[in-house]
Amino acid sequence: MRQLRAMMNPADDMEIDPSARTATLALRIEFTGAPARGLLRAEAKSDGFSPHTALAQAATAGTIRAAGAEVARISGIWVSPPAPEGRALDPLPWERKQAAIVPALAPAQLDALEKSVMRRVRQALRAAPHGGFLRNLWQPAVRHTPRGAASRLAVGTHVGNRVGHVQGGLLLYAALATAIGAVPHHPLLTAASAWFISPGLGKALRSRSTVLQKGRNVAVVRTEVFATGGKRVLEVVSNHAIAARA
């Protein structure tokens, strides 16, 4: 997971303090078609921050492999903006040099946000007695529309990052799940380009996928994600294909 996180925000390789806030501006993913099974290994590199922007930007490129085969190629741009006022970002538990052993809390000791997460976890477990727990926890409710598809993702701590926004990877996942639902006859996601525009905030995020092209073998979908009040959060253009015959 440390390597996968570094694909989008390679802070460790660039001597960024683990407690610093990082944010992705743009991301490009190309899938090779190789199955992502077993242990995933991610490698990424960056030439460092550019001196040409007021908020320094860093370009990164890398690959994800599974069982020795290249599964995906990824490139992106990220920044390290200031944390929200009054919020200290402690290092993640696995980044602390001396991680403290914290005893498990009793249910009555949980705060309101923690209790809401546990309710969602229990709901997901009940909905997935034979597997698919994470899909039930994070999958948005997707429905077909005349122009493609639409979805709704409830916002809560279970999809949040350290500053209280929807985590970028889950934000992209919600958009791509909607895009896939827009072209069910082109089930292979082959590539996607994403632009992160504003934080995911509010009670729910709504995604709207529009089919730009649907041909015999390839489809192109544009997906827009909006926060409560209609503020634009994310833009994604994705390519979809029909699988080769065995």
Asked if 18 and 11 count as a contact pair (C-beta separation under 8 A), the reply is yes
3-state percent breakdown (helix, strand, coil) of the chain, nearest 5: 25, 40, 40
Task: Give the residue with greater pLDDT, 103 vs 40.
Answer: 40
Q: Residue 20 — very low, low, confident or very high, per pLDDT cuts 50/70/90?
A: confident
Name the strand (E) or helix (H) holding 133: helix 133-138
Q: What is the pLDDT of residues 212-241, one digit of tens each?
A: 999 999 999 999 999 988 999 999 999 999
Q: Provide the pLDDT for residue 162.
A: 73
Q: Provide the pLDDT for residue 131.
A: 84
Q: What is the pLDDT of residues 89-148, one digit of tens each?
A: 666 665 666 656 677 888 888 888 889 889 989 989 998 888 888 888 888 999 999 999
Q: Provide the pLDDT for residue 7.
A: 46
Asked if 18 and 95 count as a contact pair (C-beta separation under 8 A), the reply is yes
Sheet holding 23-31, edge to edge: 40-49, 57-66, 69-79, 23-31, 188-196, 232-241, 218-226, 204-214, 148-154, 141-145
Q: What is the pLDDT of residues 70-86, one digit of tens each?
A: 999 999 999 988 777 76
Per the prediction, the chain carries an average pLDDT of 86
Distances (CA, A) of 200 to 10, 147, 163: 22, 24, 11
Provide the 10 A C-beta neighbour count for residue 134: 11
Q: What is the pLDDT of residues 171-223, one digit of tens each?
A: 999 999 999 999 999 999 999 999 999 988 888 899 999 999 999 999 999 99
Q: Provide the pLDDT for residue 92.
A: 61
Q: What is the DSSP letter of 166?
A: B
| Exposure on the CB side of residue 187, measured as CA atoms within 13 A | 3
Please determine, for residue 53, whether its predicted confidence score (pLDDT) is greater than 50: yes
Q: Provide the pLDDT for residue 91.
A: 64
Pick the CATH number of 1-83 from 3.40.50.720, 1.25.40.10, 3.10.129.10, 2.40.10.10: 3.10.129.10
**CATH code linked to domain 112-246:** 3.10.129.10
Distances (CA, A) of 166 to 129, 160, 202, 204, 239: 27, 4, 9, 10, 24
Asked if 103 and 115 count as a contact pair (C-beta separation under 8 A), the reply is no
Hey, where are the domains in the chain?
1-83, 112-246
Please determine, for residue 60, whether its predicted confidence score (pLDDT) is greater than 70: yes
Same fold: 1-83 with 112-246: yes
Please determine, for residue 6, whether its predicted confidence score (pLDDT) is greater than 50: no
Please determine, for residue 88, whether its predicted confidence score (pLDDT) is greater than 90: no
